[in-house]
A and B are shown apart, each in its own frame.
Chain A
């Protein structure tokens, strides 16, 4: 077990800027770590109301972008389209990366990651909804602060987010946006 090695690897997530924002020339875009932290807080706070296993949801949030510290942040969707081949490839290398990062700690979370990417259990579906909601809120904030058109992100959110409570948050956000 090498705690320092692990910490240095996680440290990369602070320096990694999220690709979606970089491509749209957002000034001082958030890092992968910043995104992940807000997703963690949302998962923790919302799990009881969403009637899903809180521990599982939070763990998903913690590991979901850890692989990006090895692979970089690869974008696999645009508007209402998901590039499935690309996503599959991304998930495969991320899974391997997470296993490498966590090698030697007894648990490599590959089962949990598998559950996440199969998107079948309530927890997995809810998790991706929260991940997307967090991103949409961030898009709203950048649009407001920096005047960059983020319509694409709202279109994705509207299309993909299915949980009623989270859907209603997206609708509220759209109302705020139209003002």
Chain B
């Protein structure tokens, strides 16, 4: 077991800025680690209300952008469009990244990852909704602070966010957005 090796690899997640924000020329965009931390906190607090396993969702949060640590932070969807081929590519790299980074640790991440990308179990469905909600809230912040138009992030989130509690938060966010626009 090499603790330093793991930690130094994880350092990249602090340095990598999320591609979607870079494309939109956001000043000081959030890093992958910052995004992951946000969803981890939301998961911890909301799991019991959403009826999902907190532990499983936290693990999903940890690995859901791992491909970026090996290659790049892929943007696999924009607005209502999903780029299926790119998504497959990302998933393949992600699995490899999980194997490489966690190879020495007793954690069954590969199965979990399959569950996550199949998007069939309750946990995986809720996980992606929380991920989208966090991204949309960040988009809202940037729109307000940096005077950007980031509608496609809201359009994209709308496809996913169905769980009543999360949907309520999303609807509230849209109302807030209207009131300053």
For window 1-28 of A, CB contacts with B under 8 Å fall at 1, 3-4, 6-8, 10-11, 13-14
Q: Are A45 and B6 in contact (CB under 8 A)?
A: yes
Q: In the complex, which residues 62-95 of chain A have their Cβ closer than 8 Å to any Cβ of chain B? A: 62-63, 66
**B93-140 with Cβ < 8 A to chain A:** 102, 105-107, 133-134, 137-138
Q: Which residue of B lies closest to A165 (CB)?
A: B3
Q: Are A42 and B34 in contact (CB under 8 A)?
A: no
Which of B3, B4, B10, B106 has the most CB atoms of chain A within a 10 A radius of its CB?
Answer: B3
| A contact residues around B7 at 8 Å (CB) | 38, 42, 133-134, 137
Q: How far is the CA of A48 from the CA of B102 in the complex (A)?
A: 13
Minimum C-beta distance from B108 to chain A (A):
12
| Stretch of A29-37, A120-128, A146-154 that contacts chain B | A29-37
Q: Is the CB of B107 within 8 A of A37?
A: no
B137 to A4, Cβ gap below 8 A? Answer: yes
A3, B166: Cβ atoms under 8 Å? yes
Q: Which residue on A lies nearest to B106, using beta carbons?
A: A48
Q: Is B58 an interface residue (CB 8 A)?
A: yes
Q: Knowing A44-B107, A176-B4, say if A14 contacts B34 (CB, 8 Å).
A: yes
What is the minimal beta-carbon distance from B174 to any residue of chain A, in angstroms?
11
**Distance in angstroms between the alpha carbons of A42 and B46 in the assembled complex:** 23
Please count how many residues in chain A sit with their CB below 8 Å of the partner chain's CB atoms: 45
B41–A3 contact, CB under 8 A?
Answer: no
With contacts A40-B40, A49-B1, A137-B7 taken as known, whether A4 is within 8 angstroms of B169 at the C-beta atoms is yes
CB nearest neighbor in B for A8 = B137
Q: A33: which B residues are within 8 A, CB to CB? A: 33-34, 37-38
B83 at the interface (CB under 8 A from A): no
Residues of B within 8 A of A55 (CB): 55
The reply to whether A34 and B31 form a contact with Cβ atoms under 8 Å apart is yes
| Contact, CB under 8 Å: B3 / A37 | no
Mark interface residues in B13-39 (1 if CB within 8 Å of A CB, else 0). Answer: 110000000000000001101101110
Q: A62-B41, A62-B44 are in contact. Are A44 and B62 (CB under 8 A)?
A: yes
CB-CB under 8 A for A36 and B37, given A4-B137, A4-B172, A8-B137: yes
Nearest residue in A to B63 (C-beta to C-beta)?
Answer: A41
Asked if A59 is at the interface (CB within 8 A of a chain B CB), the reply is: yes
Query: Do A3 and B62 contact each other (CB < 8 Å), given the known contacts A41-B10, A137-B7?
Result: no
Enumerate chain B interface residues (CB-CB to A < 8 A). 1, 3-4, 6-8, 10-11, 13-14, 30-31, 33-34, 36-38, 40-42, 44-46, 48-49, 55, 58-59, 62, 102, 105-107, 133-134, 137-138, 141, 165-166, 168-169, 172-173, 176
Q: Top 10 nearest A-B pairs by Cβ distance?
A: A3-B169, A37-B33, A33-B37, A37-B37, A34-B14, A14-B34, A169-B3, A34-B33, A33-B34, A45-B105
26 contacts between A and B (CB under 8 A): A3-B46, A6-B45, A7-B38, A8-B141, A10-B37, A11-B141, A13-B38, A14-B30, A14-B34, A31-B34, A34-B13, A34-B34, A34-B37, A37-B10, A38-B11, A38-B14, A41-B10, A44-B58, A48-B105, A49-B105, A63-B44, A66-B41, A133-B7, A165-B1, A165-B3, A169-B3
